[in-house]
């Protein structure tokens, strides 16, 4: 089966061609995936100018890029549309105007090419990036029951899966998502957008115990998250100049502009914040994995590219859950991409079949169920 995946939930316009092949493992056939092509047009530089995503601007960029991106994906895969078996498109959650561009394009192609169409939840796409990772590295695919930590700019969820396409959200953020907190703290520090990579880069030069920051809800008897209090604690540190000795104008700038002392202060604050946020993510995930006795622990979403999170969770799983398999996507598959949508689309096609293209709609608040 050859699947065209289309992803436009936020500010990346993406298309990918993924081929599913059946391989004999332990006397049973299991699907393996080959990414024939994956093309992404990012709008990061555009939205960096405004310090965040402007939905109308994002939608216009999607409209401009979507067809050329799909054409590039087909050419890189050395295929024409006749070889496509299924079209899988993100139906939510995300920005409504961005989602509509991808969905309407997919519907037109489904009608014009006479191809079945499937709607995929963006979050399940992130989860299924781990199956692409297994194929890419030769590792074994995740085993059920599994626990997936999905952590991105808009979502932070712990998802229990007992079989394919079966989702039980056992924990989620009550306010800011983890990635959102990174972006907001970066904005408080005057570091620019997107904030996550900048904070992580500076954190490598800082002391992670330089500032005592809270770990919200880390000891509560549930699997929910909260990051607004951590963000507020950073804000108070910035305002309390008697403690932090930050410059009087824009809180923190690049080292050459504020001097070595201020740069180190900046790095220390980033390191302390990053450590606090990741401590919570890792601790909650391990607690949930132990309770539900899962065979696999998965990490996915844009924040899964964070090196400290990747290494911390990997180490913790190996130490405290030695019988469980840990899986995480390659860095390229952490950010929004269409290959993950195609992978999830395969399982929908296999278990649920296709949808009527005329009835396919998007839902910006679509929850995993």
Give the whole-angstrom CA distance, residue 172 versus residue 158: 6
Helix/strand/coil for 324:
coil
For 84-190, strand residue ranges (E) read 86-92, 117-121, 146-151, 156-161, 168-172
Contact 306, 338 (CB under 8 A): no
Task: Pick left, alpha or beta for residue 119 (phi over 0 → left; psi -120 to 50 → alpha; otherwise beta).
Answer: beta
Q: Is position 153 annotated in a ligand binding site?
A: yes
Query: Residue 130, annotated ligand binder?
Result: no
| 176 in a labelled binding site | no
Q: Do the annotations mark residue 164 as ligand-binding?
A: no
Whether 196 has a binding-site annotation, put simply, is yes
Angle at 56 between CA 54 and CA 58, to 5 degrees: 70
Find out whether 306 is annotated in a ligand binding site.
Answer: yes
Q: State yes or no: 345 annotated in a binding site.
A: no
To the question of whether residue 18 is assigned a binding role by annotation, the answer is no
Q: Tell me: is residue 336 an annotated ligand-binding position.
A: yes
| Non-local CB neighbours of 197 within 8 Å, separated by 6+ positions | 305
Closest listed residue to residue 182, CA positions, set 153, 213, 150: 153
Binding residues for Fe cation, as ranges, are 122, 126, 336
Binding residues, as ranges, are 122, 126, 150-154, 183, 196, 306, 336
Binding residues for substrate, as ranges, are 150-154, 183, 196, 306
């Amino acid at each position: 089966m050859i699947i065209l995946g289309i992803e436009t939930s936020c500010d990346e316009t993406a298309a990918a061609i993924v081929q599913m092949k059946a391989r004999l493992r332990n006397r049973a056939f299991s699907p393996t995936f080959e990414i024939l092509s994956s093309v992404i047009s990012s709008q990061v530089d555009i939205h960096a100018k405004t310090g965040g995503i402007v939905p109308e601007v994002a939608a216009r960029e999607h409209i401009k890029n979507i067809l050329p991106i799909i054409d590039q994906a087909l050419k890189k895969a050395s295929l024409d549309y006749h070889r496509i078996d299924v079209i899988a498109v993100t139906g939510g959650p995300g920005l409504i105007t961005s989602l509509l561009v991808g969905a309407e394009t997919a519907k037109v192609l489904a009608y014009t090419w006479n191809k079945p169409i499937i709607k995929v939840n963006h979050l399940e796409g992130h989860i299924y990036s781990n199956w692409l990772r297994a194929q890419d590295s030769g590792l074994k695919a995740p085993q059920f029951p599994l626990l997936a930590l999905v952590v991105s700019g808009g979502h932070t969820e712990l998802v229990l899966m007992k079989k394919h396409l079966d989702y039980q959200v056992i924990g989620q953020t009550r306010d800011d998502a983890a990635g959102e907190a990174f972006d907001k703290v970066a904005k408080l520090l005057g570091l620019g957008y997107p904030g996550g990579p900048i904070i992580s880069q500076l954190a490598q030069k800082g002391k992670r115990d330089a500032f005592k920051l809270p770990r919200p809800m880390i000891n509560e008897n549930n699997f929910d998250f909260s990051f607004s209090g951590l963000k507020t604690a950073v804000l108070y540190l910035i305002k309390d100049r008697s403690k932090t000795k930050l410059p009087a104008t824009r809180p923190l700038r690049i080292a050459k502009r504020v001097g070595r002392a201020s740069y180190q202060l900046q790095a220390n604050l980033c390191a302390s914040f990053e450590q606090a946020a990741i401590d919570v993510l890792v601790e909650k995930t391990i607690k949930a994995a132990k309770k539900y006795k899962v065979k696999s622990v998965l990490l996915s979403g844009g924040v899964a590219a964070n090196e400290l999170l990747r290494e911390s969770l990997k180490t913790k799983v190996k130490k405290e859950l030695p019988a469980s398999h840990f899986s995480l996507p390659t860095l390229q598959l952490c950010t929004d991409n269409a290959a993950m949508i195609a992978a999830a689309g395969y399982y929908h096609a296999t278990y649920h079949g296709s949808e009527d293209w005329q009835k396919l709609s998007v839902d910006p608040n679509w929850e995993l169920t």
